[in-house]
């Protein structure tokens, strides 16, 4: 009876060993199979994170482009990056209101003397620039080096935009200096008031000159000149 019992014990031990080996082999194969799966999951997570970062950077890029298009909404840039004409500016200055005469004309008087002409605005602008104005706008039309002030029938064109009186001129600079230049005896304001054109001057602690929205047109100037290239 001992022999069959020994055989049974041996068979049991062998069965346990075989089962243990089978389990170990199965676990090893399962672990091996799980490695690529975990790697794929990690790659999926990394891909999602990269996509989120890409969306965030794209939104930032779009926001920066909008701020460059509309700097009056808060863009700040160094002068070496953006010319000042692309930025809304603020500072002390003066505000002029220029309007046609409301005084009835005498018989035989030329009606043209009672209205504001483009030459009148040009004289005012030139006087402001000569007295140190750093930025000027007429009815929110920013004046730049290529701006034209021309007559277009009953209206005046500034930056190809039709303007009608009253004309509000805002200029940033020293208020006292600009006002004194405009009010010089025999100056442009006295000349206009002689013909009963209405001119009011207000000194301001803060004047806002809006951004220039147009594109300057150059007939002769070209970009791309090398810094070390001597002009011919």
Domain boundaries, the chain: 1-69, 88-104+111-209
Tell me the pLDDT band of 134, cut-offs 50, 70 and 90: very high
Residue 110 burial class via C-beta count within 10 angstroms: exposed 0-12, middle 13-18, buried 19 and up? exposed
The first and second tokens of residue 186, run together, are 């025999």
The first and second tokens of residue 158, run together, are 């500034």
* Angle formed at CA 172 by CA 193 and CA 87, multiple of 5 degrees: 130
Could you tell me the pTM of the whole model? 0.61
Q: For position 143, what pLDDT does the model report?
A: 94
* CATH architecture for segment(s) 88-104+111-209: 2-Layer Sandwich (3.30)
Tell me the pLDDT band of 80, cut-offs 50, 70 and 90: very low
Tell me the pLDDT band of 185, cut-offs 50, 70 and 90: very high
Is residue 39 over pLDDT 50?
A: yes
């Amino acid at each position: 009876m001992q022999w069959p019992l020994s055989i049974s014990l041996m068979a049991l031990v062998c069965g346990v060993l075989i089962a243990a080996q089978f389990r170990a082999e199965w676990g090893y194969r399962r672990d091996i199979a799980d490695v690529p799966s975990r790697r794929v999951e990690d790659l999926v997570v990394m891909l999602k994170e990269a996509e989120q970062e890409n969306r965030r950077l794209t939104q930032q890029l779009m926001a920066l482009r909008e701020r460059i298009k509309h700097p009056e909404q808060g863009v700040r840039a160094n002068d070496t990056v953006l010319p000042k004409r692309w930025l809304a500016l603020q500072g002390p200055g003066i505000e002029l209101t220029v309007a046609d005469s409301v005084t009835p004309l005498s018989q035989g008087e030329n009606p043209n003397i009672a209205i504001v002409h483009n030459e009148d605005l040009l004289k005012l602008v030139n006087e402001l620039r000569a007295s140190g104005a750093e930025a000027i706008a007429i009815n929110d039309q920013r004046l730049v080096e290529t701006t034209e002030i021309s007559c277009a029938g009953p209206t005046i064109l500034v930056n190809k935009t039709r303007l009608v009186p009253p004309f509000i001129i805002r200029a940033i600079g020293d208020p006292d200096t600009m006002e004194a230049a405009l009010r010089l005896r025999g100056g442009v304001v006295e000349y206009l008031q002689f013909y009963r054109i209405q001119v009011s001057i207000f000194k301001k602690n803060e004047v806002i000159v809006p951004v220039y929205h147009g594109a300057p047109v150059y007939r002769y100037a070209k970009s791309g000149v090398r810094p070390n290239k001597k002009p011919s």
